[in-house]
Amino acid sequence: MNPEKFPLLSPIDLEGLSYCGFITVKGQELFFQFQHEDSNLTLRNVKLYGCPNLKRLLHGHENALQQRLEQCTNFSEFFLDLKDLLEFIMISEKPEPMPTGRYYLSLLSELNSIGWEKLEILDPSLRNLTLKLSDSSSRKHSIHISIPTSYPHALLNARADIPSISMTQFQATNLKDVINYYSKEFGNFQEVWAMLDDIDLNTWVLEPDKPKRSDLMRRIALGNHCSLKIEIDVNHPRRECQYELFGTESLIVPLHIKIAKNWNNWDINLTVRRNFENILEITFPTFQTSLSSDINFDCGICYSYHFESTIPDQSCNNNKCGQSFHRVCLYSWLQAIPSTKKNFNTLIGNCPYCNDVISTTREQ
């Protein structure tokens, strides 16, 4: 250690493993302590302690710091690098204007007026908050609000998870308006959510993985590698909705015939789930009943369900087999087999499970 270079730094143990002192960057003196974890003096395993100001400056630059620690061979080199890094951070830092006193006063009075029990999260900077609201069917909703520094002169930005793109974001002058606006919006979607909750509760939903309040689509397991995808109409939640059937042709065709026969019996007094059960003349398996009868939806090649945001949508048409695969997995397997026939971008080969003919096309 060169004392002339670093006059404000001194060793604090006999072995010279730890140092403490001040680093001077742009006229600011920052306290820090540096400790080797093992005695072989490499910089791979060191601990750095610092004053709050140093911590704040280095926050978000942990990777850069780690990289420098790994590259430097000795402490002096690292010390100079750290100084460079801190100088760079200080220059690039744009200090954000602090909110005025009126900001905090209005925030406080607003929270008093709406009631503190509605406040779920308030971040330490007092700039973002989350309100929780229950709708008439006691579903819990969160409203995320970010407050500009110039508040109350600027508008609040609010956002909530509702199934309408144009309505999710809202700007208001105060929290009360936000609550009134979203209470009304949540009221508009009661029927939609009632339909979706009925599906989520009584069927095995394959997709989306964790449905959000804004998701109107559900893909429901039917068993034997077949599934039904439906999308609730946000304006007419009880009406006939769009659907699509996936799975082995031999099992899907009879279902299509039933739909053609029973589609006119749609009863808007029943839930969407009940209507589909009546039309398809089945009851949807739930997750619990399916666990015992081990319905397997995983891809037969990669053994997983989700793969790069795709799900197994190709299935073997032999209804004794019916194994499903991801398009990518099946395509790359068939491609590797010399006996596979190729017709434009369709591959025709054999199912890896039952050896029946199976074909697939490359992802569009």
Q: Does 242 bind another protein (CB under 8 A)?
A: no
Q: How far apart are CA 240 and CA 232, in angstroms?
A: 8
Q: Which of 185, 102, 173 is nearest to 141 (CA)?
A: 185
Beta bridge partners of 121: 130
Residues 6+ positions from 290 with CB-CB distance below 8 Å: 204, 221, 223
Q: Does 130 bind another protein (CB under 8 A)?
A: no
Residue type, 34: F
3-state secondary structure of 171: strand
Q: Which spans in 189-248 are helix H?
A: 190-202
Query: Smallest distance from the beta carbon of 352 to another protein, in angstroms?
Result: 4
Q: Does 291 bind another protein (CB under 8 A)?
A: no
Which span (135-143, 181-189, 264-272, 329-337) binds another protein, by CB under 8 A?
A: 329-337
Q: Does 181 bind another protein (CB under 8 A)?
A: no
Q: Using the minimum distance from each CB to another protein, give the nearer residue, 34 or 333.
A: 333
Among 23, 199, 230, 328, binds another protein (CB under 8 A): 328
Measured CA angle at 210 (ends 205, 216), to 5 deg:
70
Q: Using the minimum distance from each CB to another protein, give the nearer residue, 6 or 325.
A: 325
Q: Does 358 bind another protein (CB under 8 A)?
A: no
Query: Smallest distance from the beta carbon of 241 to another protein, in angstroms?
Result: 34
Q: How far apart are CA 170 and CA 9, in angstroms?
A: 54
Strand 9-11 to 18-25 pairing: antiparallel
Among 155, 167, 295, 302, binds another protein (CB under 8 A): 302
Q: Using the minimum distance from each CB to another protein, give the nearer residue, 252 or 328.
A: 328
Query: Smallest distance from the beta carbon of 207 to another protein, in angstroms?
Result: 19
Contact (Cβ atoms closer than 8 angstroms) between residue 327 and residue 360: yes
The secondary element (H helix, E strand) that includes residue 181 is: helix 175-188
Q: Does 209 bind another protein (CB under 8 A)?
A: no
Q: Does 352 bind another protein (CB under 8 A)?
A: yes
Q: Does 45 bind another protein (CB under 8 A)?
A: no
Q: Using the minimum distance from each CB to another protein, give the nearer residue, 152 or 352.
A: 352
Q: How far apart are CA 203 and CA 275, in angstroms?
A: 13
Query: Smallest distance from the beta carbon of 335 to another protein, in angstroms?
Result: 8
Q: Does 300 bind another protein (CB under 8 A)?
A: yes
Q: Which of 270, 219, 271, 281 is nearest to 245 (CA)?
A: 219
Q: Does 304 bind another protein (CB under 8 A)?
A: yes
Interacting residues toward another protein by CB under 8 A: 300-304, 307-308, 328-329, 332-333, 336, 352-353
